[in-house]
Amino acid sequence: MPIIMGVDGGGSKTYTIISDENGNQLGRGISGGGNYQSIGIAKAIENITASIESALASAGLEYKDIDFVQYGLAGADRPKDIAIIEEGLKRIPLHNWGLVCDTMEGLRIGSRDYTGVVLVCGTGTNAAGRNKLGDEIQIGGFGYFFGDWAGGGAMAQETFRAAVRSWELREQPTILTEMVPEYLGFKNMPDLVNNYLDNDIYHAPNQLAIVLHEAANKGDEVAISILEKTGEELGIAASAVIKKIGNFEQPIPIILIGSVVQKGQDKYLLEALRKTVEKDHEKVELVIPKMEPVYGAVLLGMDHLGITATEDIYDKFESYGGYEE
């Protein structure tokens, strides 16, 4: 019976899942981040290896028992990146493997035929697509300087800025002037602003995106506008993917992955996203997967081995839940 390993390496964590051909989970492992762009290739390979060995130990297996491993790694964006990562992966004693950018894992868990558009909205943002001809493209993923805007980090900064601007009367009133200092452990905006200036703090914690969602749920117009702006930006990226390569079946699936969209599922963000894409492309379908992206790596591994992913396998992967520790 073939044994498949899927490895999902992100900015903060690396997940490894070992599965048999029927979707039964045999082992799992979690370690630190696997994005070499953030921590260097040596540390990334160290973390990936630790995750793999943890999964092997939990399954009672050895490297030689794995028939195929599919890596889905953040940072595998350009040919130069891929060459660096592949050279690093050669140090791991797994000889039958494939490598894709982690965006492709997200596409695979949301699209049964592995075509469509995938939008990543976690701490950062990224967009990619694969059409019926097998053409692939990535839009963004390189940060604000290279045109990106969206993701939890950007939303947190906008939340902090909106609170400051409203407090200074440069923005309309918003409950963020109360919620932001309270969340950060201050009595009021003056205490917060002065403390940050005194200590040269110029970045808000990404968790402020949670405060933003809470304020929007209370009907705060400023918070709602930030979420709508985020949705519009994601929609622009999705539309760009479709325009770049075309040849998509209708309706075009737009798969949303990352904590902001999978866990937040904010109605203002999603509606703004939909409206933006539909300005240029009428028939689209927003898809929010119920399984972790790491199972996209496992599914791609099954595809490679010619194993058909049945409905039962999809149900199992959804039932296994998340892997936060």
For 279, counting Cβ atoms within 10 Å of its Cβ (0-12 exposed, 13-18 middle, 19+ buried), the class is exposed
- How high is the pLDDT of residue 85? 98
Residue with more model confidence, 313 or 144: 313
Domain ranges of the chain: 3-95+290-319, 113-289
Query: Is 113-289 the same fold as 3-95+290-319?
Result: yes
In this predicted model, what pLDDT tens digit does every residue of 69-122 receive, in sequence order?
999 999 999 999 999 999 999 999 999 999 999 999 999 999 999 999 999 888
Average model confidence (pLDDT) for the chain?
95
- How high is the pLDDT of residue 143? 87
Tell me how far apart the alpha carbons of residues 238 and 260 are, in angstroms, rounded to a whole number.
16
- How high is the pLDDT of residue 260? 85
Q: Tell me if 205 sits within 8 A of 190, measured CB to CB.
A: no
Read off the pLDDT band of 321 (50, 70, 90): confident
Residue 216, token pair as written in the block:
């929007």
Q: Which residue, chain included where needed, has tokens 């906008």?
A: 158
* Class at the top of the CATH hierarchy for domain 113-289: alpha beta
Read off the pLDDT band of 194 (50, 70, 90): very high
- How high is the pLDDT of residue 314? 96
Q: Which residue, chain included where needed, has tokens 């949670």?
A: 210
CATH of domain 3-95+290-319: 3.30.420.40
Q: Is the pLDDT at 262 greater than 90, yes or no?
A: no
- pTM here is 0.89
